[in-house]
Amino acid sequence: MKTKDISVIVNGEEVRASVPVRRNLVDFLRTDAGLTGSHVGCEHGVCGACTVEVNGATVRGCLMLAVQADGATVTTVEGFAASGRSAALAAAFTRRNALQCGFCTPGMLASALGYIDRGGTADRAAIREHISGNYCRCTGYQSIVEAICDVIEERTAP
Amino acid sequence: MKAADFDYLRPSSLAEALTCLSQNVGVAQPLAGGQSLMPMMNFRVATPEVLIDLADIPDLRGVTELDGMLRIGAMTTYRDLTRITDRVPLLGLALPHIAHDAIRNRGTIGGSVALADPAAEMPALLLALGGVIELAGPDGQREVAADDFFQGYYATDRAEDELIVAIRLAVAKPGDSFGFYELTQRHGDYALAGVAIAHAPDLRIAFFGISDRPIRLPELEAALTAGTDPGPALDQIEFEGDLKASAATRRHYARVVLDRALAGMTS
């Protein structure tokens, strides 16, 4: 098996590892960095459970190789929580019952933050379109959309 | 599933990348944004022995404007293409339909054109706009019109030892108008049928998702330009049927997307 030495800044800390070149980013995060918050679902870019942030943009952790992230800055759900960036969103998810089993939640939070932090508005159709690449099999999305709306409305309230 | 094992090369110049490619013809696969290649590798539909990552090649990046044409580096992502939708309005109409935000952050125009998925938006957009594909190979550079580039299911005029360097598209002029429509099962899915239309000033109409490649029909464009029924021209298409839609359903969808795109043309 071919391997390569990589260095990735994960949630503000450097992670150095010798990884098989075929290892995707989300498996690197779970296996090498020990961060199991990012989930592995479909492994072909459809379900969104592995969504993380790379150099400030949300990406699918299963559609990127760990070696492609060499030198990059990665933020996972653990990083969003530690920095407080997801605090309001997590509270809104709890309040709105926007999760049941929680499998989709880390990816859902990453996608939602990508929308909110880029100035997305409390437009329910736009939010639904934005999270259309994140599958939830429990809640039916209504409560997730409401939670995201809550955070945007809290931020934009006078 | 996980991808099968491969060698990973990351050249830092176009010349180096072409050397990597020519030394591994038949077993190497160029890696652009990877948003289609990675799923295919995870499914093991694609099992390249050598992966050549194009991420570090400056010649494949950037957008320049010259004499009414935009030259778009092959590694330009969909996210970066949103910055030029004022000059190429058809891009603005098409981009929201491409997969999802996280995929648009990494997927590239060159990757989509090289893959030539018959249901993808970019190849049809290039056809409608009369785009040009710039290729580099061991014998130098050449360019191919989009009309001649797409040759069938995932088949293009690109030779195995060539790379797409850039895509050239005309900047829209005042008075040009554009239309785009696609039908999908869910937002972001590949199209069951779609169409991209440019009226700039000639009418160019490119369907996607209905046949083995994006297609233009001169008879259809002539019929619409003359104001006559486009139905007979649509009947010439060899519609493809699959699990999601039969050939007859696609024939119906083609008319639906055409009528809706024409009704929603930009002004």
Using CB atoms, pick whichever of B34, B39, B101 lies closest to residue A133: B101
With H, G, I as helix, E, B as strand and everything else as coil, classify residue B41: helix
With H, G, I as helix, E, B as strand and everything else as coil, classify residue B21: helix
| DSSP string computed for A79-139 | HHHHHTTTHHHHHHHHHHT--SS-SSHHHHHHHHHHHHTTT--S-HHHHHHHGGGS--SSS
Percent share of chain A, pLDDT over 70: 100
Q: Quickly count: other Cβ atoms within 10 Å of residue B136's Cβ.
A: 22
**Looking at chain B, how many residues does it have?**
267
Contact B25, B161 (CB under 8 A): yes
Q: Which contiguous run of DSSP H or E holds residue B242?
A: none
pLDDT band at B85 (very low <50, low <70, confident <90, very high): very high
Q: Is B39 within 8 Å of A45 when comparing Cβ atoms?
A: yes
pLDDT of amino acid B98? 96
Please give the average per-residue pLDDT across B94-122, as a whole number.
97
Contact B30, B114 (CB under 8 A): yes
Instruction: Give the CATH number for residue A92.
Output: 1.10.150.120
Q: Which of A59, A109, A118 to mutate to test the interface with B (most CBs of B within 10 A)?
A: A59
Rounded to whole angstroms, the Cα distance separating A19 from A16 reads 9
Q: Is A27 on the interface with B (CB under 8 A)?
A: yes
Contact B42, A43 (CB under 8 A): yes
Q: Which two tokens stand for residue B139?
A: 């014998």
pLDDT band at B240 (very low <50, low <70, confident <90, very high): confident
Last residue of a domain, one of A79, A108, A134: A79
Q: Is the pLDDT of residue B212 over 90?
A: yes
Residues A116 and A97 in one domain: yes
Residues A101 and A73 in one domain: no
pLDDT of amino acid A158? 77
Q: Is A64 within 8 Å of B106 when comparing Cβ atoms?
A: yes
Residues A75 and A7 in one domain: yes
Q: Which two tokens stand for residue A102?
A: 């929680």
Tally C-beta pairs within 8 A across A and B: 94
Residues A8 and A69 in one domain: yes
Q: Is A129 within 8 Å of B4 when comparing Cβ atoms?
A: no
Instruction: Give the CATH number for residue A55.
Output: 3.10.20.30
Give me the interface pTM, i.e. the ipTM.
Answer: 0.95
Residues A43 and A111 in one domain: no
Contact A77, A104 (CB under 8 A): no
Domain of residue A40: give its range. 3-79
Name every chain A residue with its beta carbon within 8 A of the beta carbon of B8. 2, 4, 21, 65, 67
Burial of B2 (C-beta count, 10 Å sphere; 0-12/13-18/19+): middle
Taking only the tens place, the pLDDT of each residue in B39-75 is 999 999 999 999 999 999 999 999 999 999 999 999 9
Could you read off the pLDDT tens digit of each residue along chain A, which spans 158 residues? Answer: 899 999 999 999 999 999 999 999 999 999 999 999 999 999 999 999 999 999 999 999 999 999 999 999 999 999 999 999 999 999 999 999 999 999 999 999 999 999 999 999 999 999 999 999 999 999 889 999 999 999 999 998 87
Instruction: Find how far residue B86's CA is from the centre of its chain.
Output: 19
Taking only the tens place, the pLDDT of each residue in B254-267 is 999 999 999 999 98
pLDDT of amino acid A16? 98
pLDDT of amino acid A156? 86
Residues A59 and A111 in one domain: no
pTM above 0.90, yes or no: yes
Residues A131 and A152 in one domain: yes
Rounded to whole angstroms, the Cα distance separating B30 from A119 reads 35
Residues A61 and A97 in one domain: no
Q: Within B85-200, where are the H helices?
A: 89-94, 101-104, 109-115, 121-129, 146-149
Residues A68 and A103 in one domain: no
pLDDT of amino acid A27? 98
Name every chain B residue with its beta carbon within 8 A of the beta carbon of A23. 2
Judged by phi (left if over 0) then psi (alpha if -120 to 50, else beta), residue A55 lies in left
Checking B232-236 for CB contacts under 8 A at 24+ apart, the result is: B234/B258
Q: Quickly count: other Cβ atoms within 10 Å of residue A85's Cβ.
A: 17
pLDDT band at B170 (very low <50, low <70, confident <90, very high): very high
Q: B6: Cβ–Cβ under 8 A, 6 or more apart, which residues?
A: A2, A21, A22, B47, B48, B49, B50, B51
Residues A10 and A49 in one domain: yes
With H, G, I as helix, E, B as strand and everything else as coil, classify residue A13: strand
Instruction: State how many domains chain A has.
Output: 2
Question: Is the backbone peptide bond immediately before B201 cis, with ω within 30 degrees of 0?
Answer: yes
Residues A119 and A62 in one domain: no
pLDDT of amino acid B182? 98
Rounded to whole angstroms, the Cα distance separating A16 from A1 reads 19
Residues A68 and A15 in one domain: yes
Last residue of a domain, one of A47, A79, A111: A79
Taking only the tens place, the pLDDT of each residue in B3-21 is 999 999 999 999 999 999 9
Last residue of a domain, one of A52, A79, A106: A79
